[in-house]
Amino acid sequence: MPALVSIPDLASQCIHCGMCLPTCPTYDTTKRERNSPRGRISLIKAVAVGDLPITTSFAEEMSYCLGCLACQTACPAGVDYASLFEHARAEIETSGLNSSPKRSLYRYLTLDLLFTRPRLLRAFGKTLRFYQTSGAETLVRKLRLTRLLPADLRRLEPSAPRISQKFSNELIAPLESPSNPVIKKIALLTGCIQDLAYAQINRDTADVLLANGCEVHTPPVQPCCGSIHSHNGETELARDNARRLIDLFPPENFDAIISNAGGCGSHLRHYGKLLADDPSYSRRAALWDEKLKDIHEFLTEIKIIPPTQAPFPEPVTVTYHDSCHLAHGQKITRQPRALIALIPGITLVPLTESDWCCGSAGVYSITQPEQSALLLERKVKHIQATHATILLTANPGCHLQIQNALPRLNILHPVSLLAQAYRQSLPLITAN
């Protein structure tokens, strides 16, 4: 991405204080300076000024980084680590150092195909859904036919998400109006993994918005936000997706554009920077950034009508896990907790290390399985220590990662809990 500020300048903002080190999960694991943000910044700078070529070791280091941005929260000097990180990954892709036929194939299938063609992604989802619900999956697992898969796919197979019965376009009409007078005109982003595996969360988001006087516009087919492309060194594809979304949701038409996925929201908020040097989009991208809101952020701003009924017949204990890109990437930690506090019949127990990465980190659980597993284990221990019956989290990646380790734990998006509470007293909200 053409840096508006040069990479050496961005890297020079680092004052070497080391306050990022204790917050970095990889430094915590190895205690090696190169596996810390401070160390990585020094390597990125060395490469940028020509002191170090882009080597395999450098490429490995940038893959080992989670991109969790806990360092940005800790950093006193306001270093824009996210930009340095994405720049480094893009440079590494351009160098071709990591390339292999298999890797190129996987990247092509996902980044170039599935995550640029929403209809294709849904078709793939439907196929997977059929496989999961028709009995085929049970048979394949019983007969251990997964042995036929290549090793890495075989390892991943058990953690494939359960595909939703209906996708967002089957749950939400393109235009839904509230029964009370319209206060705000909202666009709702339905996402990719959210749409395929947790479409009900999108329905719940729409319900909560409707209950608070919002007119909700939800185009039935939406392209990927481009976050996965940007985090994996495919800047041009990220830009393409950004342009398509801006065209689909003209920011001038809406009071707010809502994201309910922490990982996506963090990227969606910076379209202005992504398209800064595109004269036909730069102005609208800057306007997009102003309109883009995380659902918790937006609901807190408009001061929602607090629900009057508890969501469940019995009181429940809940705990909240901060998605890295919501907490560190977007600095949204107060609002989800404030919203949860509005719900009757709920006791919120604090989660130790609530903003320590769970290991999902985009595709990290696929590319760095050991480190991902270490982090998941740490997170699971803390969750179990709360004895909460429900875990609340606002990012599909975290949701999936933790559900895989704790299949019997009830995991909900805070907005789903809110919707459930509203449903007890507002019959006009449609349930599933």
Partner 1 sequence: MLEKLTTLLGKENLLTEKEDLIPYSFDGTATFHQLPLAVAFPRTTEQIAACVKLAHETNTPVITRGSGTGLSGGSVPSEGAIVLCLVHMSDIISVDPANLTLRAQSGAITADIDAAAATHGLFYPPDPGSMKISTIGGNVAENSGGLRGLKYGVTRDYVMALTVVLPNGNIATFGNACVKDVAGYSMKDLFIGSEGTLGIITEVLLKLLPRPAARRTMLATFPSMESAAQTVSAIIAARIIPCTLEFLDQMTIRCVEDYTKIGLPTDCAALLLMETDGHPAAVADEAEKMAAIALQNGAIEVTTASTDAEALRLATARRSAFSALARVRPTTILEDVTVPRSHLAEMVSFIAKTAADLNLTIGTFGHMGDGNLHPTFLTDERDQAEMSKVHQALDLIVTKTLSLGGTITGEHGIGLAKKQWLPQQLDASSLDLMRQLKQTLDPHNLLNPGKIFP
Residues engaged in binding partner 1 (CB under 8 A): 9, 12-13, 15-19, 21-22, 31-34, 36, 38-39, 42-43, 46, 51-52, 55, 57-58, 61, 76-78
Smallest distance from the beta carbon of 374 to partner 1, in angstroms? Answer: 17
**In this structure, are strands 214-217 and 175-176 parallel, antiparallel, or unpaired?**
antiparallel
How far CA 70 is from CA of 228, 237, 326, 335, 367, in Å, comes to 19, 26, 11, 18, 20
Closer by beta carbon to partner 1, 11 or else 163: 11
Closer by beta carbon to partner 1, 5 or else 385: 5
Per-residue tokens: 203:
């329905």
List the beta strands (DSSP E) in 120-266. 175-176, 184-188, 214-217, 256-259
| CA–CA gap between residue 322 and residue 147 (Å, rounded) | 36
Smallest distance from the beta carbon of 357 to partner 1, in angstroms? Answer: 18
- 188 SS3 class: strand
Smallest distance from the beta carbon of 353 to partner 1, in angstroms? Answer: 14
Smallest distance from the beta carbon of 13 to partner 1, in angstroms? Answer: 6
Smallest distance from the beta carbon of 77 to partner 1, in angstroms? Answer: 4
Closer by beta carbon to partner 1, 52 or else 342: 52
| Number of Cβ atoms within 10 Å of the Cβ of 331 | 14
Q: In terms of residues, how long is the chain?
A: 432
Smallest distance from the beta carbon of 21 to partner 1, in angstroms? Answer: 5
Closer by beta carbon to partner 1, 70 or else 388: 70
Closer by beta carbon to partner 1, 40 or else 107: 40
Closer by beta carbon to partner 1, 13 or else 95: 13
Smallest distance from the beta carbon of 118 to partner 1, in angstroms? Answer: 40
Closer by beta carbon to partner 1, 64 or else 288: 64
Residues contacting residue 309 through CB under 8 Å, at least 6 positions apart? 344, 345, 421, 424, 425
Smallest distance from the beta carbon of 7 to partner 1, in angstroms? Answer: 13
Closer by beta carbon to partner 1, 9 or else 301: 9
Helix ranges restricted to H, 295-393: 295-301, 324-327, 334-341, 364-367, 369-386
- Token look-up 């401070």 returns 38
Closer by beta carbon to partner 1, 22 or else 306: 22
- Token look-up 């800064």 returns 276
Smallest distance from the beta carbon of 90 to partner 1, in angstroms? Answer: 19
Closer by beta carbon to partner 1, 64 or else 198: 64
Smallest distance from the beta carbon of 367 to partner 1, in angstroms? Answer: 19
How far CA 179 is from CA of 200, 212, 219, 253, in Å, comes to 21, 9, 21, 21
Burial status of residue 201 (CB atoms within 10 A of its CB: 0-12, 13-18, 19 or more): buried
| CA–CA gap between residue 135 and residue 371 (Å, rounded) | 33
State the Cα angle at 300 between 296 and 306, rounded to 5°: 105
Residues 116-120: contacts with CB under 8 Å, at least 24 apart: 116/223, 116/224, 116/237, 116/240, 116/241, 118/192, 118/221, 118/222, 118/223, 118/224, 119/221
Beta bridge partners of 259: 294
| CA–CA gap between residue 392 and residue 321 (Å, rounded) | 6
- 46 SS3 class: helix
Smallest distance from the beta carbon of 23 to partner 1, in angstroms? Answer: 9
Closer by beta carbon to partner 1, 58 or else 320: 58
